[in-house]
A and B are shown apart, each in its own frame.
Chain A
Amino acid sequence: MQMVNFFGKKIDVRSFLSKLFLTATLISLGVFVFLPTFYLISFTFLGWDEVYREVFANPLIGDEHWQQIKGILIFSFRIALIAVLIDILIGIPLGYILARKNFRGKGVVEDLVTLPLVIPTSAFGFATLITWTTIAGIGGFLGLGRGLVELNYVVPIIKIPFLILIVHVTLTFPYVVRIFKSKLEELNPEFEIASRSLGASVFTTFRSIVFPQALPGLFSGVVLAFARSLGETGATIIVAGVNTTASIAIVKWELEFKIAPASFLGFLLILIASSMILPVEYFVSRERSISSLPNLTEILRIEKYLLKFEKTISRKLYWVKEVVSFIFIGICVILPILVVLNSVILYWSADPYTGKIEGGVIYQLFGPANYFKSLIRATAVSLIVAAVSTYISVCIGIATAITIEKYRFCRAIRSLLKVPLVVPTSTLGLSMILLWGPKGLGLINPGIWLIILTHIVFSVPVVVESALASYEGSDVEVYEEAARSLGATPYDVAETVTLPIIKRGIFTGAILSFTHSLGETGATFIVMGRDATVSTLVVNMVEALAIPAALFASTYLIALSLILLFVFRKISK
């Protein structure tokens, strides 16, 4: 097909359209996703004089901010590091069980592993808080008459506040488990049989055959878990007590109008996150990356002892992995939910310990504070935000996924899209408000629209990634070629072959971004203005010490996420 352009030149309509599509996709990606993600970097450089004055040479407090930032960063990194180590310890056996074993109730265990990903973090943080520190939780069950631990109890040796650690582990281990598990599922289990038939025990087989091949999956999972721990805000803000992590610091400073130190900290976090994800991406995508790693046990000459040790474990301690995994899930995922449900019933009409109706759920919801009204309003905001941001993200995401598959030079986009996933959300919120808000372009004031724009930034990568996964998992290209050979135009192919085949992947991505949007706290806190979402409302309730109201809101959010989980499961199976 040919047509004539303005200058009287003949041009091919088809190639014109495909160029138009490419340009539109790249522009919308740039404006909606990459600009906000990287804006903080340029902001820090452009306003370097002010940042320097505030952070390093404040006339009143000198480099106090810099000292704080250093301390906070080290603290956050320590938490993330320890949390990820525990994630690995739990994630490897759990991932292996879920990938290789069949047992009754496996579906339930899988759901319980997914739950921390869909649960609004503030509600979960609150549930963990009352489980460990109040009489309504473990302490009460054990008859102690108080909570099992103090709010600010610090774990000895590693020197990390207990509650922060437990919240971070619970919210991040699903990344390790899920990615490790799906990598294991790609591996042919016959390799394990081959190895065992050659005389390797179950553990030796795992170490020498399964683990090396699944290592790239473990790496990706660990990076996501680490980043998530660095960026976690919603739950941390509730259990933090006197401690401050990096993302909480950004939220606090932003609310105190200390833009310079906040943006400098955010700038550092983006740099660190990108410099972490990009080398790992490169390593994982390289062929034979694993084979090039040195064999430590051979070098240390401990192989022989290790083999013996593994043989013993394979024979006698094979059940440990199951027991440890299930106890962990029971204490960290199920228990907090049960405690919240139990407490909301106890506190329904009045405080069970003082008997005052002012301490009951009903009074707080419908009494003078009227939390019910704010809850309804927040729900409306949350749903609108989630729906609109998911819709826009799906539109951009489909176009991006197709672009990445069609054009070679767009492959790098895929790696770049990992960056918004690992940038701490509070940093992202800060970036958004500085870019679009009154101090930046002045286009959008804090409020529902800015929330939507913010959520699009981290939703697009989720949609793209799951669309690509299902694209690559189903030989779409073969079918596309078949369709082309039958006379379909590229547009026909996209509409009649590509999209229907990757539909499921897109749905999965949409559900994930919807739940992510519902539960997001860190960025939303900064950009929401007066339009609170449900998850931020829980934080406000806890800070206002309206515990029964918070209990009700948490229950409500947990119920909501269980429904979403159900939908997610229906679609992804």
Chain B
Amino acid sequence: MPDVKLVNISKRYGKGRIIAADKVNLEIKDGEYFTILGPSGCGKSTLLKIIAGIVKPDEGEVYVGGKLINDVPIEERHIAMVFQNILLFPHMNVEENIGYAPRVKGIERERRAKIVEEIVSMLKLTLRSTAFPDELSRGAQQKVSLARAIASETNLFLLDEPLSALDSRVRLELRYELRRLVKELGVTAIHVTHDQEEAMSISDRIAIMKHGKIIEVGSPVELYLGPQTIFTAHFLGKMNFMEGVVIESSGGGCVVEVSGGVRIRTKAKGRFARERVVLAIRPEFIKLSQTINENNKNVIEGRIIEKFYTGSYIYYKVKLENGIEVLTLTEAEKMYKDGDKIYASFPPEYVILFKYPEEGLEKELSLE
């Protein structure tokens, strides 16, 4: 059964100048929907290609189902790939495309037709089987290519940005279809994407990657609510960051002073006094109100300076009295106007602290 293990995988391009993978260690469990997420150029596709056997790693080992497969050619790795560029064979019609893997395994025409039929009904494909790829929409093409991958009857799916080339509506639809199929077939799926929303909604676990390194691995909830690094906090969803200094630390949490002498109490533990930190809070956890509510903690006065209407929610940009701007998210029924005076409250349990990065906050937040 295909659990995948990468041990110390390294790969460099361009005479060693570009690092695509830097001593990567990763374990993917059998039957898991695993996503590798990172900004473009972080090396995530290279990692997938190393698992597929398209790229040879400079160092390290790839194990699938406990077997070392470094020297096994692509065609014998029993994987199924789905590509961003879809890559349906243009000279074959839908049926021939789906039946390609059985064909090259030497399965006779009659049995092949049966396999194709089964998959078509499973995917609820309502296409003419004699249609050629260029007669189909992108979404339909990608569905056929998924069918083609399924027909190879393997247990390891490698999905290389499979939804990136599609329209946003089709993308959402196929996203759930993908997860449903993977779970229904009981296969292991490794999905590579730069779309954090896609990764969050589809995966059992996510690995965050940057500069050829795995930064953090965890379930979507773990990574979203309790990120261990500033990069993860920034890359997944939206996050407000402020620089500050710890002025008081105890067993129950600590107090951080941010610019303008404003103090914010948090429940974060293990910090020591006078430590430089980065304080972070997600927009949806900041509470806004026009009156001071006694129950709210860490209340800071500010003014609404901008608003972005999305339909179900509204983002407000608030300029706090100490000059810092924060982004907040509220339900659409509460409407404020630009310039409205507002009280923003930062619930201590949602305020996260990070150690101040050596190279500065700006550098840490850049996606390059």
Known contacts A190-B83, A208-B104, A303-B106; is-contact A196 B92 (Cβ 8 Å): no
Q: Is the CB of A191 within 8 A of B87?
A: yes
Query: Total contacts A to B, CB within 8 angstroms?
Result: 76
Q: Is the CB of B87 within 8 A of A201?
A: no
Q: Which residue of A lies closest to B77 (CB)?
A: A197
A207 nearest CB across to chain B (Å): 10
Chain B residues contacting A204 (CB-CB under 8 Å) are 104
Chain A residues contacting B148 (CB-CB under 8 Å) are 198
Chain B residues contacting A291 (CB-CB under 8 Å) are 91-93, 132
Q: Report if A334 contacts B (CB, 8 A).
A: no
Chain B residues contacting A308 (CB-CB under 8 Å) are 106
Q: Which of B79, B89, B106 contacts A197 (CB 8 A)?
A: B79
Known contacts A208-B104, A288-B132; is-contact A197 B74 (Cβ 8 Å): yes
Known contacts A212-B91, A291-B93, A307-B106; is-contact A199 B83 (Cβ 8 Å): no
Complex alpha-carbon distance, A383 and B101, angstroms: 58
Q: Which residue of B lies closest to A304 (CB)?
A: B106
Residues 395-431 of A at the B interface (beta carbon under 8 Å): none
Known contacts A190-B83, A291-B132, A307-B104; is-contact A196 B91 (Cβ 8 Å): no
A302 nearest CB across to chain B (Å): 11
Q: Report if B329 contacts A (CB, 8 A).
A: no
Q: Report if B214 contacts A (CB, 8 A).
A: no
A407 nearest CB across to chain B (Å): 27
Complex alpha-carbon distance, A290 and B158, angstroms: 30
Complex alpha-carbon distance, A208 and B80, angstroms: 18
Contact count band on B: 20 to 34
Chain A residues contacting B15 (CB-CB under 8 Å) are none
Residues 168-203 of A at the B interface (beta carbon under 8 Å): 188, 190-191, 193-202
Q: Report if B368 contacts A (CB, 8 A).
A: no
Q: Is the CB of B152 within 8 A of A199?
A: yes
Known contacts A196-B74, A198-B148, A199-B105; is-contact A188 B87 (Cβ 8 Å): yes
Q: Is the CB of A197 within 8 A of B104?
A: no
Question: How many residues on A have C-beta within 8 angstroms of the other chain's C-beta atoms?
Answer: 27
Q: Report if B357 contacts A (CB, 8 A).
A: no
Q: Which residue of A lies closest to B87 (CB)?
A: A194
Known contacts A193-B54, A291-B93, A298-B109; is-contact A198 B87 (Cβ 8 Å): no
Complex alpha-carbon distance, A303 and B148, angstroms: 20
Q: Is the CB of A199 within 8 A of B101?
A: yes
Q: Is the CB of B73 within 8 A of A196?
A: yes
Q: Is the CB of A198 within 8 A of B106?
A: no
Chain B, residues 134-163, CB within 8 Å of chain A (1/0): the string is 000000000000001100100000100000
Given contacts A197-B74, A200-B75, A213-B91, 17 further A-B contacts (CB under 8 A): A194-B81, A194-B89, A195-B104, A196-B73, A197-B52, A197-B77, A197-B79, A197-B80, A198-B81, A198-B149, A202-B75, A204-B104, A212-B91, A288-B132, A291-B92, A303-B103, A307-B105
Q: What are 18 of the A-B contact pairs (CB < 8 Å)? A: A190-B85, A193-B52, A193-B54, A193-B81, A194-B83, A195-B89, A195-B104, A197-B74, A197-B79, A197-B158, A198-B100, A198-B104, A201-B75, A202-B75, A208-B103, A290-B91, A298-B109, A303-B103
